[in-house]
Amino acid sequence: GLGEHRAKAERMFSLMDGFLKNDPISLQKDILHHVEYTVARSRFSFDDFEAYQALAHTVRDRLIERWHDTHIYFKRTKPKRLYFLSLEFLMGRSLSNSVINLGIEDQCAEALNQLGFEFEVVAEQEGDAALGNGGLARLSACQMDSLATLDYPAWGYGLRYEYGLFRQIIVDGFQHEKPDYWLNFGNPWEIERIHVTYEVKFYGTVEEVEMNGEKQKVWIPGETVEAVAYDNPIPGYGTRNTINLRLWAAKPSSKFDLEAYNTGDYINSVVNRQNAETISNVLYPDDRSHQGKELRLKQQYFFVSASLQDIMRRFKEEHTNFDELPEKVALHLNDTHPSLSIAEVMRMLVDEEHLGWHKAWDIVCKIFSFTTHTMVTDGEKIPVELLENLLPRHLEILYEINFNFLEEMKKRIGLDYSRLALLSIVEEGAMKSIRMANLAIVCSHTVNGVSKLHLEKLKTKTFKDFYGLYPEKFQCKTNGVSQRRWIVVSNPGLRDLISKWLGTEAWIRDADLLSGLRDHLDNADFHLEWKMVKKVNKMRLAEYIEAMSGVKVSLDAMFDVQVKRIHEYKRQLLNIFGIIHRYNCLKNMDKDSRRKVVPRVCIIGGKAAPGYEIAKKIIKLCHAVAEKINNDTDIGDLLKVVFIPDYNVSVAELVIPGADLSQHLSTAGNEASGTGNMKFLMNGCLLLATADGSTVEIIEEIGEDNLFVFGAKVHEVEKRRQKRLSNLAPLQPAKVPLHFARVLRMVRDGYFGHNDYFKSLCETVEFGFGNDYYLLTSDFGSYLEAQAAADKAFVNQDKWTRMSILSVAGSGRFSSDRTIQDYAESTWKISPCRCPL
Ligand code: AZC
């Protein structure tokens, strides 16, 4: 009875000590407790890694407290919730970020110290969680941090891949891929929810049955897999709110495979069950191409089905009427990858909840929003053949959505079949397929671009036809990055300096305050301290470079960095050609001129998709050029070239703060936004960049004379491409700038060895072959001018420091807090829901 219940509650309460304490002594006790009872080591002998594990569990306990309170609070107040659906999250390490967001960094450092450990060393023990490819995935991670910090009632959903993005090993200058066994050392940041499981079904047939006198479709699936939840608490900064990132892992269904057991085929039935686990096994390592593989489709649906069952269960606990769904639930599609969700919600509402089609469609169109992350027109497509087999009912639903949509369009635009064919969700042709972007646009109430330039291209090119039909759907949400991760965690020196001169730490929650640094622009002491911070970061980076590649670099040199995925459109090749040109110039200089040269350390890093041959050749070329130049004693410290292997989030945290100059070289019109540029900007590193993606807005914000802009503008690119093609017939060396031709010839003729291997790479920029689609030839001259301007600016360290300060001061707009607030207010329509202390 009630009395019994109350007695139990009182007893529980009396057993509780209150919240875990965060003073250094309590933390030490907890660390030792975890050393002994979680890690099962002796408190008298444990190493740095074990100290990491014990501290991580100590922090995890505190995260769980807040995480619980946050969820109880959300449950009680019932706000409209956002569900952020993404197949990729690049979280990187968690320890430092958590400790900072919980506000217990000093206490943890002191606790460790008294136990004979150093926080930085212990934090270095943690491996990266790399459940994503590149920009899109890291953006999701920054956005989760902002959602928590700004107190939004949000959940992230993703997949718990057992193998994250491959580790890049360089052997002899060639990239090799090694699996990323990230879970082998345990993962203290996740909470396994063995009771939060859902069945996900595949294959089978669709049948028609009579129900209440009406014909109703039912899907009779052929295979069942179980999804198990793993929860990852995401703490906000300066708030108790700690939200959840729920990742799904596939497990064999607990339902017995009866037939196999009965026929005595025990071994095979166990083997079959194991196949289920392969679904969430490995992340696809391509960041721009989609191959229409069955396993990938299975992953997508597995993710979608588990997440939506979870979301609907939570909704139904609190509501009985689906009309309320749009007031209580916002579903965000991070790119097209999760857009099967649309068909799945329709299936749930129509087949399972028995809503009429039109009513269901009405609801569905009010809950989805969509962000695209690419400039490429040819988006993700799912072959109908695959769907027919794997998800037969979903295919029917997609056909019906498309039929209704096209009927509506016929009424609006008439029987213009070529236009209708472009709009259609179904692509006819050699391989009939579903266009995921069209599906997402038709159903979402908002279609977001990730920079102004990107949105412009969506409106005028990529989705021009849709824009004509639904202009109000299209919105710009320029990307941002978290200043918690990209200054506070990765650049503690700069953090202290900023806080000292601003007289507050409030900028950690409100990045606009960074503009206050402009007040000290001419202060000599400020300059001195600013330069000192950079120097220390360069030292840290130089040590890392020496450890990784054996190359010793001078701290007086300009550290010039290009780190990002390797892609033709990102033009790492332009960078390498520039380096070769610089080398040629140095070789031809007399002693006197050489004395005036700004020494450079050119640092390149990034992974190539395993099947992307040209990108792999770029990596090899980088190594071949490095080998030649670094071993030329005549050049010495004037020029060094370094490739940093296995670029990932934690490497970025080390490299970005140590950079003087960073390069963002995409041919204008190809980079949807770019977020690396923002991270460098926040760290006082000057940008050398094309006017592409979000760089255009950075220029707006800090002014053209605070960075080095070069190259064709978007509107010039198409014209130049045409011009090149009209020159196509004969090889026309006269049209190629001399310097460019010379550099190209050196690579082609084997100056750096391996000429056969580099042949196809050279051809990408040659007439009659690749036709230089990305316009390296025509941008080369302007690129060299920008480089010369950077050299010149670097000589004047006063000017350089001013530019550096102005970069940080202008970076506030590029905080993911601004992006998330904009999404919350204009797209998701959600309000902050702050858990009381
Ligand atoms: C990237 C875009 O290429 C980049 O310009 C953008 O800044 C970033 O998304 C975040 O919006 N796209 C991807 O990373 N895409 C995939 C599939 O990985």
Q: What is the pLDDT of residue 592?
A: 95
Of 495, 564, 582, 617, catalytic: 564
Instruction: Using the predicted structure, report yes or no on whether residue 94 has a pLDDT greater than 90.
Output: yes
Is the CB of residue 135 below 6 angstroms from any atom belonging to ligand 1?
yes
What are the structural domains, with CATH classification, of the chain?
78-93+128-479+822-828 (3.40.50.2000), 527-811 (3.40.50.2000)
Catalytic-role residue among 60, 81, 201, 373 = 373
> pLDDT band at residue 470, thresholds of 50, 70 and 90?
very high
Q: Check residue 215 and give its pLDDT.
A: 87
Could you identify the residue written with the tokens 């397929």?
A: 433
Q: Which residue has the higher pLDDT, 642 or 15?
A: 642
CA separation, residue 815 to residues 186, 661, 832 (Å) = 32, 20, 18
Round the average pLDDT of the chain to a whole number and report it: 95
Give the H or E element holding residue 402: helix 392-413
Is the confidence at residue 233, as pLDDT, over 60? yes
Give me the sign of the Cα torsion angle 764, 765, 766, 772.
Answer: positive
Residues near 138 by Cβ (< 8 Å), separated by ≥ 6?
A: 90, 92, 132, 481, 649, 675
For residue 346, report the distance from its CA to the centre of ligand 1, in Å: 29
Taking each helix axis from N to C end, the angle separating 436-443 and 340-347, rounded to the nearest 10 degrees, works out to: 60
Give me the pLDDT at residue 685, please: 98
Q: What six digits make up the tokens of 472?
A: 């109000």
**Cβ of 657 below 6 Å from ligand 1:** no
- 688 φ/ψ angles, rounded to the nearest 5 degrees: -115, 110
Instruction: Produce one character per residue of 376-408: b if its CB has 16 or more CB atoms within 10 Å, e if not.
Output: eeebbbbbbebbebbbbbbbbbbeebbeebbee
Average pLDDT of span 430-436: 96
For range 173-178, the mean pLDDT: 98
Beta carbons of 669 and 692 less than 8 angstroms apart: yes
Cα angle for residues 187, 193, 194 (degrees, 5° grid):
110
674 touches ligand 1 (CB under 6 Å):
yes
Query: Does ligand 1 lie within 6 Å of residue 449's CB atom?
Result: no
777 is catalytic: no
How confident is the model over 518-540, as a mean pLDDT?
A: 98
| Beta bridge pairs of residue 282 | 163
Helix pair 48-77, 105-114: axis angle to 10 deg: 150
Q: In this predicted structure, what is the pLDDT of residue 732?
A: 52
Catalytic residue flag (residue 255): no
Contact between 621 and 576 (Cβ < 8 Å):
yes
The neighbour count for residue 696, using CB atoms within 10 Å, is 23
Catalytic annotation present for 538:
no
pLDDT band at 734; cut points 50, 70, 90: very low
pLDDT of residue 688: 99
Cβ(671) – ligand 1 distance below 6 Å? yes
Q: Is 594 a catalytic residue?
A: no
Could you write out the DSSP letters of every residue in 228-278?
Answer: EEEEEEEEPSSSS-EEEEEEEEEEE-SS--HHHHHTT-HHHHHHHHHHHHG
Coil/strand/helix, residue 40: coil
pLDDT of amino acid 728: 52
Is residue 712 a contact partner of residue 789, using CB atoms and an 8 Å limit?
A: no
**Are 140 and 132 contacting, i.e. CB atoms less than 8 angstroms apart?**
yes
As beta bridge partners, residue 710 has 690
Answer whether 693's CB lies under 8 Å from 132's CB: no
DSSP β-bridge partners for residue 175? 170
Cα 188 to Cα 190: distance, rounded to the nearest angstrom: 6
C-alpha of 755 from chain center: 35
Instruction: Provide mean pLDDT across the span 120-148.
Output: 98
Query: Is 565 an active-site residue?
Result: yes
Query: Which pLDDT belongs to residue 256?
Result: 54
Q: Is the predicted pLDDT of residue 730 greater than 80, yes or no? A: no
How remote is the CA of residue 823 from the centroid of ligand 1, in Å?
A: 18
Q: What is the pLDDT of residue 260?
A: 64
Instruction: Return the amino acid letter for 376.
Output: V
Q: Which of 377-381, 565-569, 631-635, 649-653 has the lowest mean pLDDT?
A: 377-381
First to last CA, the chain: 32
Distance CA 300, CA 309 (A): 14
Q: Give residue 290's pLDDT.
A: 85
Exposed / middle / buried, residue 76 (Cβ in 10 Å: 0-12, 13-18, 19+): exposed
**Interval between CA 335 and ligand 1 midpoint (Å):** 9
State whether the beta carbon of 133 lies less than 6 angstroms from ligand 1. yes
Report the range of poorest mean pLDDT among 102-116, 158-172, 198-212, 234-248.
198-212
Any atom of ligand 1 within 6 Å of the Cβ of 493: no
CA of 375 relative to ligand 1 center, distance in Å: 9
Q: For the chain, give the percent of residues with pLDDT over 70.
A: 97
Q: What is the pTM of this model?
A: 0.96
CA distance 129 to 88: 11
DSSP letter at 19 equals S
Q: What is the DSSP string of 298-353?
A: HHHHHHHHHHHHHHHHHHHHH-S-GGGHHHHEEEEEESSTTTHHHHHHHHIIIIIS
Contacts by residues 63-66 (CB-CB < 8 Å, ≥ 24 positions apart): 63/98, 63/102, 63/233, 63/235, 63/242, 64/191, 64/233, 65/19, 65/20, 66/102, 66/233, 66/235, 66/240, 66/241, 66/242, 66/835
